[in-house]
Structure 1
Amino acid sequence: MHVVAIYNNKGGEGKSTVTVGLAEFLAANRGKKVLVIDLDAQASSSCALLGHKSLNAAIDEGRTVVELAAYLRRSRRPIVECSKYLTWRAGAEARGAALEEIALLVPDGDRMFDVEDSMRWGQHNHLFLEHLKPALTEFDFVLIDLPSNVTKASMISVNGLAMADFVVVPTRSTHISLNGLPRTFSLIDQVRDVSGTGRPAVLGFLLNATNKTHQQYRSIVKPVVEASTDGSLPPFFKNHWTPSPALEAATDEDRDARTLKERFGAGYDRARLVARELETACDKFEFQPVKPVSRSIWERLGLA
């Protein structure tokens, strides 16, 4: 089982779109059993995969991360059966890479913050790692969609990071997007230090809505790519998502898609290659002691 957090502390970088794309292709193209844990109160991933009707039904029936987190905080015991908290998106009947079944753990809006008020850094950081993660071994991939603007007080998100093996950092090719990277890495480092496991490891940066032939990429992103090449930063995915209305529309819950090609249109090949690269990178990754990215590197890149 690989647990992968999709995280960038800056909003608008495409975290939910990437989460949905990875989930659909890992399930339908790579034949993996996938769980999506949606920790963003906006529930973009949940709406895209389930639709509002099924999402609201899950909330009404108490099948959300709020009930799960509250239970773990009270009991401090492993979950024996997590299925009562999960909602399943059924697969489709169609020819040609039909959409497959995907499990979801959905959020519940502002109630997320109510539960977090009762959780404390240093006391409740590892509830998901110690008591939820062991119950998820039936899944090949667990994808965690994290919100932006996460702080140490965002204890549900902190728990999501703490249980992750890897982090994928989606980023657009703008300076304002790259400016969010130091804060993103700061929280990852803090969670890793408290966990004592050396995890999560940053698997890499995934460029989103990026055209590598444009001057914007060459002047803004390429220096950061070069810093990753010399080992100062984690690597960039070889494949990336180009500017594509089809990819952006893939998370439209009203889109009546039954196959991957219907859902992702012209973005099919891009999303497929990224999912395959993610699978290979997770399988081949060798965990080693992680050295935090120093402030001097961010300053050299003009991002601190």
Structure 2
Amino acid sequence: MKTISIINLKGGVAKTISSINIAHALAAKHGKKVLLIDNDKQGNTSKFFKVHGYDEPSIANVLTERNFDVKSAIKETEFKGLYILPANMNLLRADKEILLDVSRPQQTRLRKALEQIKDEYDYCVIDNAPDINMSVINALVASDDVLVPVKIDRFTFDGLEQLVEQIEDVKEFNSGLVLRGCFVTMFQRNTVNKQGDKYLREHTSYPLFNTVIRKTVRVDQSTFEGLPLLATRKSTAGEDYESLVREYLGEVLVSDTKGGARHGEI
């Protein structure tokens, strides 16, 4: 199972929408069995798939309960091959409990839990909070790749330097973690966005995917419908997420074939 963390310390960049649609594209277009983990106390990914609540186990239980059976918290979605581990506000309490519990390792709990199911899924996609807390650190320690959605504005890379530093720190526990790349979301074909995109590609050192996710009203509509973009009528953003996943899989294939430095090695 290859695990991908979707994260940006800046809000409003379509992080949750990206996590949902990347996971769904892997399942729907590539026939993969995918586990989508909601790792944000707001629980928006869980709400999208109508599994948000407090009566059943969530990722908070996975992170705080010793020898917890992670399978008991995973829910099946209505979309073939796509499963979800939900979150709720209990994750806020879980972050505090992890810090207070020094009786066992704090940073490797999610990785250890996912080892229970590593042969049952092809991919795991983690939707992370825009924060660096213990649950996010656990996600990075459990991940192979990091993908960073960015929106073109004057604050595009706010927090990215800190995120890169955190990735380097996490390598003490996960030496194979790679910043696979950033990808532009909510892209509009106007002068500002075109110039901004060109600047990012020519004047920054961060790896950047060729695919951009175009801004469309279908994205907002999909959140009300609870349907991933590729499960609704044709949309430009849906096509873009499909293209992004193909590009990502191509990068993975190249790196695995070469067995050497990868696209986003930092």
TM-score by length of 1: 0.77
**Which deviations, in whole Å up to 9, do the C-alpha atoms of 1:182-236 show, x marking residues without a partner?**
12222222212x21x3232011111001135523441x443331245xxx332x1
Q: Within 1, Cα distance between the matches of 2:212 and 2:30?
A: 18
Structure 1 segments of 4+ aligned residues over 6 angstroms from their partners:
none
Structure 1 Cα separation of the partners of residues 153 and 194 of structure 2:
8
Shift of 1:114: 1.4
Equivalent residue runs for 1:76-115 within 5 Å: 82-91=70-79, 100-109=80-89, 111-115=90-94
Residue 275 of structure 1 corresponds to: 245
Of residues 221, 224, 237, the one that matches 2:209 is: 237
Instruction: Give structure 1 stretches of 5+ with no counterpart.
Output: 92-99, 293-304
Of Structure 1 and Structure 2, which has the larger fraction of its residues in strand? 2
Aligned to 2:165: 186
Aligned position for 2:181: 204
Matching residue of 1:64: 58
Q: Secondary structure at the match of 1:249?
A: helix
Secondary structure at the residue paired with 1:10?
A: coil
Cα distance, 1:134–1:284 mapped onto 2, change above 3 Å: farther
Deviation for aligned residue 1:244: 1.1
CA distance change for structure 1 residues 216 and 268 in 2, over 3 Å: closer, same or farther? closer
Give SS of 2:251's match: helix
Per the alignment, residue 232 of structure 2 pairs with 262
- Conserved in 2, the CA contact under 8 Å of 1:169 and 1:206? yes
1:10 alignment partner in structure 2:
10
**Offset, 1:263:** 5.7
Give the alignment partner of residue 147 of structure 2, picking from 168, 175, 180: 168
Check 1:217–1:174 CA distance in 2 against 1; reply closer, same or farther (3 A cut): farther
User: How far has the Cα of 1:118 moved from its partner?
Assistant: 2.3
1:35 aligns with 2:61: no
Shift of the 101–132 alpha-carbon distance from structure 1 to 2, 3 Å rule, reads: closer
Larger Rg: 1
Name the % identity. 20
Q: CA deviation at 1:125?
A: 0.7
| Deviation sequence 1:145-190 (CA, Å, 0-9, x none) | 0011x23xx1111101110000000000111122232122222222
Q: What one-letter code is carried by the residue in structure 1 that aligns with 2:92?
A: F
> How many residue pairs are counted as aligned between the two chains?
259
* 1:224 pairs with 2:219: no
Partner of 1:140: 122
Tell me which residue corresponds to 1:96: none
CA contact (8 A) 2:20 2:228 kept: no
The alignment's C-alpha RMSD in Å is 2.6
Residue-by-residue CA offset, 1:7-31 (whole Å, 9 max, x unaligned): 0011111110101111111111111
- Structure 2 gaps of 5+ residues are none
Q: Distance in 1 between matches of 2:97 and 2:38?
A: 20
